[in-house]
């Protein structure tokens, strides 16, 4: 039995624009992460305690807030 498969090649311009869009989204997420870390770092120990955080958990909380994991 023979099968016919069609392979559709996406144009290079489409792949490049998709790559650039991904890079831009990644950079925006990184900037949001850095801003979150910076803002949480400015809080006092008491304010962090009110949020249920401590200084050692700032980066992990920022990762969870921005990236969702």
Q: What pLDDT, on the 0 to 100 scale, is given for residue 2?
A: 66
Measured CA to CA in angstroms, residue 39 lies from 27, 30, 31, 43, 53 at distances of 18, 14, 12, 7, 13
Structural domain includes residue 61: yes
Q: What is the pLDDT of residue 13?
A: 86
- The number of domains in the chain is 1
Local confidence pLDDT in tens for the 69 residues of the chain: 666 666 667 788 888 999 999 999 999 999 999 999 999 999 999 999 999 999 999 999 999 999 998
- In 3D space, the residue among 59, 10, 1, 7 whose CA is nearest the CA of residue 33 turns out to be 59
From 51, 47, 46, 49, select the one nearest 64 (Cα to Cα).
51
Is residue 69 in some structural domain? yes
Looking at residue 22, its pLDDT comes to 97
Task: Say what the pLDDT of residue 69 is.
Answer: 84
**47 in a structural domain:** yes
Residue 15 lies in a domain: no
Inside any domain, residue 32: yes
Note the pTM of the prediction, 2 decimals: 0.77
């Amino acid at each position: 039995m023979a099968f016919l498969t069609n392979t559709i090649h996406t144009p290079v311009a489409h792949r490049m624009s998709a790559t650039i869009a991904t890079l831009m989204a990644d950079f925006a997420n990184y900037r949001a992460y850095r801003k979150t870390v910076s803002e949480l770092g400015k809080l006092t120990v008491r304010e962090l305690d009110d949020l249920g955080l401590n200084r050692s958990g700032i980066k992990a909380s920022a990762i969870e807030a921005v990236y969702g994991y």
